[in-house]
Amino acid sequence: MKLIEEKERRARQRLFKVQFASLYEWQLRFIKATAEYSACMLMAANQVGKTRTGLTVDAAHLLGEYPDGWEGHRFDHAPMCWLLGFSMEKTRDLLQKPLFGTYESGKWTGGLIPADRIVGHLSATGTSGAMREVRVKHSSGSISTVQFWSYSQGQHAIMGDVVDWYHIDEEPRDKAIFPQVITRTANGDRGRGGRGILTFTPENGRTELVVQFMDTPGESQYMQRATWDDAPHLSEATKRNLLSQYPEWQRDMRTKGMPLLGAGLIFDIGNDAIKCEPFEIPDHWWLINGMDFGWDHPQAHIQLAWDKDADVIYVTHAWKKQKTVPEVAWSAIKSWAAGVFTAWPADGLQSEKSSGNQQRDAYAKAGWTMCLDHATWQAGGVGVEAGLVELYSRMDSGTFKVFSHLHEWFDEKLNYHRGDDGKIVKLRDDLLSATRYAYMMRRFAVQKSAVGKPKATAKPKARPRAGSNSWMG
């Protein structure tokens, strides 16, 4: 009996680490983003594990124990944490119970936080079993504190405290709640500024908060999406059953985490229709790179592989990062970009912010094989709508595919939409723009078998003819 009891005790002690080890790759990406951004939004479909993701982060901070492989933010002290939900009933059932389990007969059982680490609590008034505050023994020896708040209390109830970490679960209808929470973090984390996460399905549509993160994000804000495609625990039968019960107008919101997006998505084709597992590109296929310059917004780089025999185009590589100089970006992508011509937009003729040099020349000097001229169609012109129509047609016909691990590319696709005025919302479209530039210039693709081989020493007398595959210099 003693051995059985000890085994059960150890199992309870390991619940947090077991949960972390079971997270999907997209959940780990979201956790990683908390190290770089102070406000991270997980706007996701129903039942994919968004709250579970957030609670895993909450538990790590309260315990001060970060598992092997943890790439998210770390506090070097016991933090003050706020967890917020619609009501105290919701915070009790969706946040408090998974974290701490149930409290009966003076004992805690069944939560991510081991019972022997819980050193005190204050009950909330008016809601049976709900806690206002729970205190946890931190690995540093100090005491972490988590306070539970409901939106129904209004913004005035959450004034005055200094907060290190917050977790807003489900979007508050009161648009004053988020600014008030952010204000409380101003002096958090020992004066360095607190941070936190939002996990919700956008049931309220394109609210000010959603629009801010989607269309006008600040430098400290990050948004990630997750759909039913990202949730292997949902069986096809479960998805069919749930889908049949949703009103048609709610289905994209429930299954893809999508608010109503003005005039709608530009590429409203399901990810499964264009996804494919990565594979080794045959030597006789043709390669072309595309890039979108950026500093305050990310610079982006992609590679297309073209199977000319079947006329199918694959996005095989994608990388983006903001405020990164060309030399650093080149070191990150040269393993696949070297020796392949790169299509670039007309703003490459402008000065590069970090050096003052012309952007095209700065990237050529760093290592890229830049096309001689900026991206245009074979017949001339740079029409954006023409490119969107062609790419959409290829997606619809099955002649445009994307390697399944390129998550950031798919995130942009889910966000690429037209506003109420019918115009393209030109935000978070860096990889998609790079894809379009490469597609426009695919006539200058180089055969994979020729990449890295010496080129002719004689300098071309003229630029390559449209439709040729000659070296562009």
Based on the residue annotation, tell me whether 236 is a catalytic residue of this protein.
Answer: no
Q: Which of 337, 307, 331, 303 is nearest to 317 (CA)?
A: 303
Catalytic residue among 5, 6, 89, 170: 170
Contact 261, 417 (CB under 8 A): yes
Angle between helices 430-440 and 407-415 (to 10 degrees): 100
Specify whether the CB–CB gap between 414 and 223 falls below 8 A: no
User: Within 10 A of 325 (CB to CB), how many other CB atoms are there?
Assistant: 15
- Which residues, including other chains, have CB under 8 Å from residue 469's CB and lie 6 or more apart? 286, 443, 444, 445, 446, 447
Q: How far apart are CA 326 and CA 314, in angstroms?
A: 25
Query: Considering only CA atoms, which of 134, 441, 145 is closest in space to residue 287?
Result: 441
Determine the Cα–Cα distance for residues 50 and 189; give it in Å rounded to an integer.
25
* Distance in angstroms between the alpha carbons of the first and the last residue of the chain: 77
For residue 344, give the H/E element and its range.
none
Find all residues with CB under 8 Å of 428, minimum gap 6, and list them.
Answer: 214, 217, 223, 411, 412, 415, 416
Concatenated DSSP letters of 347-415: GGGSBPTTTSSBHHHHHHHHT-EE-SS----TTS---HHHHHHHHHHHHHHT-EEEETT-HHHHHHHHH
**Pair 350, 358: CB distance under 8 Å:** yes
Catalytic residue list? 170
